């Protein structure tokens, strides 16, 4: 090697000094960065675990969980949003349930001050799809009225919904094989679609909507103990028919089992039920009062003319009426009549007692003379 290509001692020493300096600076920067990160994490954990607030219950709040958020961060943000009062309690609950890593990202509509377990369930299930709508069907409606109500609340008209029922797209274990005399095929579905509030995706078909309602009703019926009716040689479908009569007759929840007892007592004794609600159903119109002429309407639903139960339910029923039909009160009542404008009925063992209560109700202006 020639002299001009050999490194000088001075140059080598300077290079080493620079290298050492660079290494020291890097070490210092890394140390400072790690220290600050640790401080931030410690501060964050401390703040999240102790975050509390006073909340106003019952308000709807839009709440977003960002992807990758820890349970502690979510708890702190829930406190900030006023959804919960104590982040530490939230963190403890998700840890005890083992779902701390199952809280799903997304945008939620939450209610402030609700049950903590229900909130955690919602966050584990994930946010509801935004392309959904709510449908509410009330109790006591005939099948035609149910379809009309659905037509107002879904993308489908009554004809499309009815077609799904009668073309076999929807099924129920309680669907009768035969159509009642003088009725349309859709009447077989009377009372088999549970009244309730439902949520459906916008792409849900008529069959999917109606199947959800039919399945809900079937579960409510199958969940009862029908042994009391079996003693009368009645089946769960008969119990559903009784429930529909209770639904139309009862105004007060506590009277449902009593009205059920009147129905079962009369069935057991072979006495015609003589329930005005069946006359109204047979007529297809409610004029507010059943006349003597109405009692002669020719229909299998006329329980004044024909003993026993009508061939199908006469409307949709709530769970309370199903439960009452499955477990009638033990009474010796055979009659009831409205005696108060608040919906109270007077129950009687004999026709004489019944007629006396009717006269009293007329004098009080509850019944038309």
- pLDDT at residue 45, rounded to an integer: 40
- For 344-359, write each residue's pLDDT tens digit: 999 999 999 999 999 9
With respect to residue 25, please indicate whether it lies within any of the assigned structural domains: no
Residues 325 and 231 placed together within one structural domain of the fold:
yes
User: Are the CB atoms for 181 and 306 separated by under 8 Å?
Assistant: no
Helix spans in the chain (H): 9-50, 71-80, 87-97, 116-125, 143-153, 158-166, 206-222, 227-230, 236-249, 256-269, 276-283, 319-326, 351-363
- pLDDT at residue 295, rounded to an integer: 92
With respect to residue 43, please indicate whether it lies within any of the assigned structural domains: no
With respect to residue 19, please indicate whether it lies within any of the assigned structural domains: no
Question: In angstroms, how far is CA 44 from the centroid of its own chain?
Answer: 39
- Looking up residue 79, the CATH number of its domain turns out to be 3.30.1490.480
The percent of residues in the chain predicted with pLDDT above 90, rounded, is 71
- For 275-294, write each residue's pLDDT tens digit: 999 999 999 888 778 888 99
Instruction: Give the number of domains in the chain.
Output: 4
The kind and range of the H/E element at 136 are: strand 132-137
User: Are the CB atoms for 67 and 74 separated by under 8 Å?
Assistant: no
Strand partners of residue 134: 199
Residues 203 and 279 placed together within one structural domain of the fold:
no
Residues 68 and 150 placed together within one structural domain of the fold:
no
User: Are the CB atoms for 263 and 242 separated by under 8 Å?
Assistant: yes
Under DSSP, is residue 190 helix (H, G, I), strand (E, B) or coil? coil
Domain range enclosing 361: 334-369
- For 183-195, write each residue's pLDDT tens digit: 899 999 999 999 9
> What's the rounded Cα separation, in Å, for the pair 357 and 351?
10
What is the total residue count of the chain? 369
- pLDDT at residue 183, rounded to an integer: 86
Residues 245 and 320 placed together within one structural domain of the fold:
yes
Low-confidence residues of the chain: pLDDT under 50: 1-10, 32, 37-49
- pLDDT at residue 38, rounded to an integer: 47
With respect to residue 274, please indicate whether it lies within any of the assigned structural domains: yes
With respect to residue 13, please indicate whether it lies within any of the assigned structural domains: no
Residues 75 and 111 placed together within one structural domain of the fold:
yes
- For 108-124, write each residue's pLDDT tens digit: 989 898 899 999 999 99
CB count within 10 Å of CB 66 equals 10
Residues 252 and 313 placed together within one structural domain of the fold:
yes
- pLDDT at residue 39, rounded to an integer: 46
- pLDDT at residue 50, rounded to an integer: 56
Q: What is the pTM of this model?
A: 0.67
Report how far apart, in Å, the C-alpha atoms of 166 and of each of 18, 170, 218, 239, 339 are. Answer: 89, 8, 18, 23, 42
The mean pLDDT of the chain is 87
- For 197-220, write each residue's pLDDT tens digit: 999 998 899 999 999 999 999 999
> What's the rounded Cα separation, in Å, for the pair 340 and 367?
9
């Amino acid at each position: 090697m020639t002299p001009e290509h050999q490194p000088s001692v001075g140059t080598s020493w300077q290079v080493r000094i620079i290298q050492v300096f660079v290494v020291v600076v890097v070490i210092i920067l890394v140390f400072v960065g790690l220290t600050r990160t640790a401080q931030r994490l410690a501060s964050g954990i401390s703040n999240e675990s102790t975050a509390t607030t006073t909340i106003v219950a019952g308000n709807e709040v839009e709440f977003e969980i960002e992807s990758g958020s820890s349970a502690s961060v979510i708890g702190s943000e829930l406190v900030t949003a006023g959804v919960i009062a104590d982040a530490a309690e939230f963190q403890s609950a998700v840890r005890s349930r083992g779902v701390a890593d199952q809280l799903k990202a997304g945008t939620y509509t939450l209610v402030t001050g609700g049950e903590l377990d229900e909130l955690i369930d919602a966050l584990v299930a994930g946010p509801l799809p935004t392309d959904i709508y709510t449908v509410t069907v009330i109790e006591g409606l005939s099948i035609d009225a149910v379809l009309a109500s659905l037509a107002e609340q879904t993308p489908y008209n009554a004809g499309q919904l009815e077609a799904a029922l009668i073309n076999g797209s929807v099924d129920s274990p309680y669907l009768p094989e035969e159509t009642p005399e003088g009725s349309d095929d859709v009447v077989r579905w009377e009372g088999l679609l549970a009244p309730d509030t439902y949520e459906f995706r916008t792409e849900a078909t008529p069959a999917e909507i109606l199947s959800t309602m039919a399945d809900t009703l079937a579960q409510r019926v199958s969940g009862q103990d029908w042994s009391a009716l079996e003693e009368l040689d009645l089946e769960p479908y008969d119990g559903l028919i009784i429930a529909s009569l209770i639904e139309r007759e009862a105004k007060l929840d506590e009277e449902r089992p009593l009205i059920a007892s009147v129905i079962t007592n009369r069935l057991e004794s072979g006495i015609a039920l003589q329930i005005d609600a069946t006359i109204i159903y047979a007529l297809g119109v409610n004029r507010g009062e059943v006349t003597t002429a109405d009692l002669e309407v020719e229909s299998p639903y006329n329980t004044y003319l024909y003993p026993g139960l009508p061939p199908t339910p006469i409307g949709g029923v709530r769970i309370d009426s199903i439960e009452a039909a499955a477990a009638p009160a033990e009474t010796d009542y055979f009659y009831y009549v409205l005696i108060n404008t608040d919906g109270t009925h007077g129950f009687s063992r004999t026709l004489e007692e019944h007629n006396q209560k009717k006269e009293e109700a007329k004098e009080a202006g509850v019944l038309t003379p």
